[in-house]
Structure 1
Amino acid sequence: MPLPFLTADRAFDATTDDVALPFDDHDHWRRPYRPGPWRVAASALLLLLASFVLLAAMVTAFAGEMSGAAFCLSVAAVAIAAALRLLRVGAWVSRHGVRRVALLRTTTLPWNQATAVRTVQQPVRWLGLPRTVQGQALVVVRRQSEPLPLLTDHNADFLSRTEAFDRAADTVEAWGDEYRGA
């Protein structure tokens, strides 16, 4: 079964550094980096929890308690949906704009509304928790409002992976340079 969310870096592995936008079809939304180990581990733990809850639902259904089984099924469905959504969290780019996918919210910004895409030094949240540390963030400067942070070097995708953050930031900046004026 192909897992398209894991194939983002293959284009970088197969190409040289002189190709900024290695994908052939620029109309599809793509994440220009792989999900980090913290994000994958959290999703795997949620799926493991969902499997135990599904087992509990089966045992409860065989015991004849259908309301308890339905509750367990709904809890498992929420855990599976959260795990899949957690894998989709991140920055996505296409010819149409840049999209920041969060766990409960998605923000899409067309390239013509962005004035710049740049990496800045600022306090960033560590693994999405309230604790902040000094780090780097890739932000999109918008025309009408405050900058939109896309990536940080301390989130679940790039914690302890500075080279991956630099490569992803450079790629998103290249997409912005290519399509902001178009």
Structure 2
Amino acid sequence: MPLPFLTADRALDEDGPAAAAAPLPYEDPGRRRRPYRPGPWRVGGAALLLLLASYVLFSAMIIAFAGSVPAAGICVAAAVLVILGAVRLVRTGVWMDEEGLRLTGLLSATTVRWPEVAAIRTVQQPVRWLGLPRSVQGQAVLVERVGGGAPTVALTDHSADFLGRPEAFRMAADAIEGWADRYR
């Protein structure tokens, strides 16, 4: 079984320093990546959705054994939708590459190219708590575009990724600002 975390050591031993100079996948600026790990609230919500999908699939199996195949097919389709929702929930957030910043939501995604970014700044403002309608005082990373208009909120410290993790929020905000400075 290949162990990708040993690749750099093996390349240094077998092929010399030239093979080790190739960037690892997480160092490749052309590859889109998230500047932070998904938070426990987001991962927990996805885990609950996957648990629900397993119950729905189990009920589809029972319904199929009972003889109602069309009803079992409906249950399987519902379980597939719940699984796709869980995957999409984990993939929401901010993704960056050398071309721009991608703000991925549950149902939509917006890409802002680095030349279109006028400024990225962290401000104190009312933010939504876990994406719910309730607002609390917190920090938000705002993306201001060159053409003007209302700034776009990229991250908040009360989102499902950063609630209770202020250091992770600061590191993600610094990473986004650093990439903006490098590629603008």
Say if 2:107 is the partner of 1:94: no
Q: How does 1:8-87 map to 2 (within 5 A)?
A: 23-87=26-90
- Relative to the length of structure 1, the TM-score reads 0.85
Aligned partner letter, 1:99: R
Match of 1:179 in 2: 183
User: How many positions carry a matched residue from both structures?
Assistant: 160
Cα distance in structure 2, aligned partners of 1:24 and 1:163: 22
Match of 2:159 in 1: 155
Cα RMSD for the two superposed structures: 1.4
Q: Deviations over 1:93-124 (max 9, x none)?
A: 11000001100010100001010111011110
Match of 1:19 in 2: none
Deviates more, 1:44-53 or 1:136-145: 136-145
Aligned partner letter, 2:118: T
Q: Give the 4+ runs in structure 1 shifted more than 3 A.
A: none
Q: Which has the larger Rg?
A: 2
Say if 2:139 is the partner of 1:136: yes
Match of 1:109 in 2: 112
3-state SS of 2:56 partner: helix
Cα distance in structure 2, aligned partners of 1:99 and 1:153: 18
Percent identity, please: 55
Match of 1:123 in 2: 126
3-state SS of 1:49 partner: helix
1:24 to partner: Cα distance: 2.3
Which is richer in helix? 2
